[in-house]
Chains A and B, each alone.
Chain A
Amino acid sequence: DAGVTQSPTHLIKTRGQHVTLRCSPISGHKSVSWYQQVLGQGPQFIFQYYEKEERGRGNFPDRFSARQFPNYSSELNVNALLLGDSALYLCASSLEHKARDTQYFGPGTRLTVL
């Protein structure tokens, strides 16, 4: 079975632009979470979606938004990009949104903001 897939792999944007990152979960998983990982740090939680509803949100500004589609895939949008948004964006899928559910991660999208 395919794992979590993310697109694109790499992205270069300039300050002020917006970006859309995409994620497809493992088949059968209904929850998708997004994380931001800056160099040298652990991933930071951004959002969790389950059954198309937002179930959790981390401490990120409103420039960050996401949604989940009927097929459980998800998009992360970031508006008005800042240099500090440069990071590896990781998507994770899990069966449900419970704390006990193991999250399986995709390969990530590396975003560079110039």
Chain B
Amino acid sequence: AQKVTQAQTEISVVEKEDVTLDCVYETRDTTYYLFWYKQPPSGELVFLIRRNSFDEQNEISGRYSWNFQKSTSSFNFTITASQVVDSAVYFCALSEAQEYSGGGADGLTFGKGTHLIIQP
């Protein structure tokens, strides 16, 4: 069964510090997809990034970067020079491609989330 672990329940940093959010996953499938979502206080989940299991290239988007390492089953997220607007709950999620259903999925499996607080 698939599982996503976000061990950091809450992180608090001062604005402009760098911060890394950890995500460790478990899956028996060889084809799977990893996602990060941001949930601000309003409650709506905002999509940040998708990664497939065959692409281990790190990705950078502005102040955001992601480090995917299959050897440690981790998909960590770093915010550089954090800002108050980055304050939110961040979720890591996993989707397995079920070969018997033609690559269909059975929903996203989410971690419990990391509450990131950026203090001014």
Please measure, in the bound complex, the distance between the C-alpha atom of A103 and the C-alpha atom of B48, giving whole angstroms.
11
Partner of A88, one of B43, B108, B111: B43
| Range, interface on chain B | 20 to 34
Q: Which residues of A contact B91 (CB under 8 A)?
A: 42-43
Partner of B37, one of A88, A99, A105, A107: A105
CB contact list, A31-77 vs B, under 8 A: 33, 35, 40-46, 48, 55-58
B8 at the interface (CB under 8 A from A): no
Q: When the two chains form their complex, are residues B104 and A56 in contact, meaning their CB atoms are under 8 A apart?
A: yes
B95 at the interface (CB under 8 A from A): yes
Q: When the two chains form their complex, are residues A48 and B105 in contact, meaning their CB atoms are under 8 A apart?
A: yes
Which listed segment binds A: B11-19, B28-36, B67-75, B76-84?
B28-36
Interface string of A96-114 (1 = CB under 8 A from B): 0111111111111010000
B61 at the interface (CB under 8 A from A): no
Q: Which residues of A contact B104 (CB under 8 A)?
A: 55-56, 97-99
B63 at the interface (CB under 8 A from A): no
Which residue of chain A has its CB nearest to the CB of B103? Answer: A98
Q: Which residues of B contact A105 (CB under 8 A)?
A: 37, 44-47
Q: Which residues of A contact B107 (CB under 8 A)?
A: 33, 35, 45-46, 48, 56, 58
Q: When the two chains form their complex, are residues A100 and B35 in contact, meaning their CB atoms are under 8 A apart?
A: no
Q: When the two chains form their complex, are residues A43 and B108 in contact, meaning their CB atoms are under 8 A apart?
A: yes
Partner of B43, one of A41, A58, A101, A110: A110
Q: When the two chains form their complex, are residues B47 and A56 in contact, meaning their CB atoms are under 8 A apart?
A: no
Question: Which of B42, B102, B103 has most A Cβ within 10 Å?
Answer: B103
Q: When the two chains form their complex, are residues B50 and A102 in contact, meaning their CB atoms are under 8 A apart?
A: yes
Q: Which residues of A contact B32 (CB under 8 A)?
A: 99
Q: Which residues of B contact A48 (CB under 8 A)?
A: 105-107
Q: When the two chains form their complex, are residues A43 and B97 in contact, meaning their CB atoms are under 8 A apart?
A: no
Q: Which residues of A contact B31 (CB under 8 A)?
A: 99
B contact set with A: CB distance below 8 Å: 4, 31-33, 35, 37, 42-47, 50, 52, 91, 93, 95-98, 101-113
